Chain A
Amino acid sequence: MTAYLLKRLAIAIATLVLASMVVFAVLEILPGDPARLMLGMNASADQVELLRNQMGLNAPLAWRYLHWAGGLLSLDFGRSYTYSVPVIDLVRERLAVSLPLALIALALSTIIAIPVGLFSASRRGRAGDTVAMGVAQLGVAVPNFWFALMLIYVFAVWLRLVPAGGFPGWGAGAWPALKSLLLPAVALALPQAAILARVTRSALIEVLNEDYIRTARAKGLPYRAVLWRHALRNAMIPVLTILGLQFAFLLAGTIIIENVFYLPGLGRLVFQAITQRDLIVVESVVMLLVAAVIVVNLVVDLSYAVVDPRLRTRQ
C-alpha cells in the first residue's frame, strides 16, 4: 500500500511539472498582448511598450517561467495583469461559489442516479427500466443551458421562489446565497445524474450476470441483499471513476451555466482571463485545476481500494 501511494505521488508531481511547462508554453504562443488590450486602440506603441515593461512582460521567457513556477512552489500565484490583485484572492472568491455549487450538484446527481440505476438494473427490460432510461437519455441529450433557462422561467419568473441569477455572496447570509445556487445546481446535476444512472445500470447488469451473484442467490440470500451488498459494491468502480471526472468538470467546466445564471464562478474567471490575455491568472488557475484533478483522481484510486479489497493487497 505504501509503495502504491509513493508511486502515485511521484506520478502526480511529474504530471504537475509537465503540465506547468505545457500550460505556460501554450499560453505564451497565443497571439495577443494584454497591454494593448488594456490601453485600447487610441494608445501609441510607445505607451503600450511602457505598460508592458511595468507589467514585466518584456522579461525573457525562461526567466518568467522560472519566476512563476518558483512562486507556485511557495504557493505564490502571482498578480493578475488586469485586476492587479493577487491571483489567489481572485481564486478564493470564485471558489466560494464554484466549490459549494460543484458539491451540491454532485450530491444531487448521486442521490438521483444511484437509486435510478439500481431500479433500472433490477428491472432490466421491463417498463420501469425503459421509462427511467428514456428519461435519462433525454437528460443527456437536452442542452443544459436550455434546461437552465426553463428552470429560470418556471422558478424565478413565474413562481418567484428564487432569483433569476446572480450571487449575493456568503456575506448576505447562508440561505440567500444557497438559494441562488439551487437552480444552477439542479441544472448541472440532472445531465450528470442521467449519465451516472446509465453507467450505474450497465455496471450493475454486468455484475449481476456474474457467477457469484448466482451463487449468492442460490445459497438463499434475498434479492435485495444481493443487489446492495454484492452487486452494487462491485459495480462501484466505474461509477466512482465517472464521479471523479464529473467533480473536476463541475469545478471549472461550468462556464455556460455560470453565464446563464451570471454567477461569479471559476469557469468565468478563466474565460474572462483568456479573452483579456490575463495570462498569469489563466496559468495559475489551470495549474490549480490540474492539481485538483490529480488529487481527485488519487482519492478515486484510493476509494477503489476501499470498495475492492483485492486492490489493497496487490502490489
Chain B
Amino acid sequence: MRLWKTILAATVLALAAGSHAFAARTDLVIGIPLEPPHLDPTAGAAAAIKEVLYANVFEGLTRIGPNGEVLPDLAQSWTISDDGKVYTFKLHTGVKFHDGADFSADDVKFSLDRARADNSVNAQKGLFAAIDKVDVIDPATVKVTLKNPQGSFLYNMGWGDAVMVSPKSADTNKENPVGTGPFKFRNWAKGSSITLVKADHYWGAPVFLDKVEFRIVPDAAAYVPALLSGDIQAFPFFDPDSLAQVKDDPRFKVVIGSTEGETILAINNKKPPFDKLQVRQAISYALDRKAIIDGASAGLGLPIGSHMSPANKDYVDLTGLYPHNVDKAKELLKEAGLENGFKATLKLPPPSYARLGGEIIASELRDVGINLEIIPVEWAQWLDQVFTKKDYDLTIVSHTEPNDIDIYSRKDYYFNYDNPTFDKIIADLNLTSDETKRKELLGEAQKILADDAVVGFLYELPKVGVWDAKLQGLWENAPIQANDLTKVKWSE
C-alpha cells in the first residue's frame, strides 16, 4: 500500500513538473471597444463597467450564468417563505474582500441598503424596489423581506448593479474597485487599458489566468491587425463587417452567439398618425427583416416578432404575424386615410446597426409611401431628445437589458404606449414566481405587443466573438453585460 502511495506521489510530482515545463500561458489581453467611465458597477449604466468587472472582480448574492441561468454566488443557498416574500440567504464563509476585510451578512445589508437608498445613484435602482427590509441574522445568514412577492428577485440579485461592496471601499470603487471576486484590480491606464490580476485568497474555484488586461480599441479597423500581430488575443464583441478577414484563419475562433439586445424601430405611439393601429401595422408589413438583418448585422441577427430574445426560454415566435407585404401595408394606410402616404423623421443614434438599418428601413417605408427624413444623432442627443423629451417619430435602438419586456408598461416611457391590459399582465408577472404561470404571462405579453405593433420588431443583436483558437472558456452568448473570465484558460 505504501509502495503504491509512493509511486502515485512520484507520478503526480513528475506530471506536475512535466506540465510545468510546458505550462500553458496564463496571461490574456482582451480588446474592448469602449472605456468604462469609472469602475463602480453599482453607480453607472455603462455596459463597459460590467464587461470588465462583473464576476471577475465583483460578485453578488446570485450570479447569471453563460446561458442566462441564475446560479448561487456569494449566497451558497437560500430558502423562500411560502408567501414568496421572505428570502433567507446562507452565505459562504471565509470570504474576504481584496483589501483584506471580511465579507459577512453586514456587507449584504450595507450593499442592498445603499443601492435602494434615497440618494442612490444606482442605474438599476428598480431592481431593489421590492425590498422592504434587510436583516442580519448571523454573520453567515441574511434575511431579505419583500413588500410583495417578486418572481424575478433572485435573477435581479445576479445583475452587475447588485454586486456586494464593502462599506470601507464603496466610496472609492470608482477609481479603485474592491470586490470579493477571483481577480483583483491592479491598474487603470486611462484611455489605454485596465489590468486585473489573480486574487490571493479566493474562496471559490481557482481561476486559470494570472493576469488579464482589457485594452481599449475604439476603432474597428484596428481589430484585425491587433489579432494578427498577437497583441490582443480576444475580442468578445467583434465587428461583424470585419469577419471576412479572420473567419477562415485557423488561428482564430469565430463564435456567433446571442445577446439580450432587441433591436427595434421604436415608434412614438401618441404622435399622429402613429397613434393609429393601421399605420403601425402598415410599418410592420413594410419591413423586410431579412434585408435589414443582412444589411445591418452582416446577416447574423435572429429575427424577432416581439420584445423577447429567441434564446430566452419563454420566447414565443411571432415573426410570422406581419410578413413583408407591401400591398397589405398600402391597404392599411388607405384604411387609415393616408393613401397618399406621409412624411416623418427617423432619428438614428451612432451604432452601425442603427445607421445602416436606418437607410434600409427608410427605403422600405418609401415603397409604401412613407417618406422618412433621416436625422443622425449622438447618444447624448438621443437620450435628451428621443428618450427624455419624446421629441421623435421613429428611431432605431437596441434594448440590451435582459428580460426587459416590462419597459412597455412603464409610465411616461419614450414609446408613449399605454395599454392597461398589458400593464395588468406585467403587474401580475412581477408577483408570480411559478415558472409555468410566468411563461404563460410572458407569452401573453409578447402577443399583445406584436398585435398592437407597438414598435417595429427587427432582430436580436448578435454577439460576434473572435479569439485565439487556443483560448477556452469565454462566453459564447451575452445573456447579461459581462466578460466572465472565471473559466477561461489556454489549452496546451
Interface of A with B (CB < 8 Å)?
Answer: 30-34, 36-45, 47, 50-51, 54, 82-85, 90, 93-94, 145, 149, 152-153, 156-157, 160, 163-167, 169, 259-265, 268-269, 272, 275-277
Contacts and interface: CB of A to CB of B under 8 A. Distances in A.
B135 to A, nearest CB: 26
A26 to B, nearest CB: 14
A40 B221 contact: no
A83 B383 contact: no
B191 A93 contact: yes
A156 B225 contact: yes
Contacts of B192: 166-167, 169, 262-264
Among A33, A160, A165, the one with the most B-chain Cβ atoms within 10 Å of its Cβ is A165
27 contacts: A31-B385, A32-B378, A33-B383, A36-B384, A37-B380, A38-B45, A39-B123, A40-B45, A41-B383, A41-B401, A42-B45, A42-B401, A43-B45, A43-B125, A83-B37, A85-B175, A94-B191, A149-B221, A152-B225, A156-B229, A163-B229, A164-B222, A169-B192, A259-B218, A264-B216, A272-B35, A275-B379
Contacts of A261: 222
A149 B228 CA distance: 13
Nearest to B404: A42
Nearest to A145: B221
Nearest to A159: B229
Interface in B120-148: 120-121, 123-126
A269 B217 contact: no
A264 B379 contact: no
Contacts, number: 145
A260 B229 CA distance: 14
A259 B216 CA distance: 10
B388 to A, nearest CB: 6
Given A50-B119, A165-B226, A269-B191, A36 B383 contact: yes
- Shortest beta-carbon contacts, A-B, top 8: A40-B45, A264-B191, A32-B380, A259-B219, A82-B37, A164-B229, A264-B192, A164-B225
Contacts of B379: 32, 37, 275
B231 interface: yes
Interface in B381-400: 381, 383-385, 387-388, 399
B381 A31 contact: yes
Given A42-B123, A94-B191, A165-B225, A262 B217 contact: yes
Contact of A54 (B121, B193, B217, B222): B121
Nearest to A152: B225
B215 interface: yes
B113 to A, nearest CB: 16
Contacts of B383: 32-33, 36-37, 41
B158 interface: no
B179 interface: no
Nearest to A39: B123
Given A31-B381, A152-B225, A156-B225, A41 B231 contact: no
Given A169-B189, A262-B218, 12 more contacts: A31-B380, A32-B378, A38-B37, A39-B45, A42-B124, A43-B123, A84-B174, A152-B229, A164-B222, A259-B218, A264-B216, A277-B380
A116 B175 CA distance: 50
B125 A47 contact: yes
Contacts of A264: 189-192, 216
A36 B388 contact: yes
B217 A165 contact: yes
Contacts of B380: 30-34, 37, 275-277
Contacts of B253: none
Contacts of B388: 33, 36, 45
Contact of B193 (A34, A45, A166, A268): A166
Interface in B178-227: 189-193, 215-219, 221-222, 225-226
A43 B44 CA distance: 10
B219 A260 contact: yes
B302 interface: no
A268 B190 CA distance: 11
A41 B45 contact: yes
Nearest to B45: A40
A157 B121 contact: no
Contact of B190 (A93, A156, A157): A93
A93 B123 CA distance: 29
A260 B218 CA distance: 8
Contacts of B219: 259-260, 262
A165 B401 CA distance: 32
Nearest to A153: B225
B95 to A, nearest CB: 28
B448 interface: no
Residue of B45, B124, B399 ringed by the most chain A CB atoms within 10 A = B45
B38 interface: yes
Given A85-B175, A275-B380, A40 B123 contact: yes
B126 A42 contact: yes
A276 B37 contact: yes
A51 B121 contact: yes
A105 B125 CA distance: 49
A260 B222 contact: yes
A43, A51, A54, A277 — which one has the most chain B CB atoms within 10 A of its CB?
A: A43
B191 to A, nearest CB: 3
Nearest to A151: B225
B221 A260 contact: yes
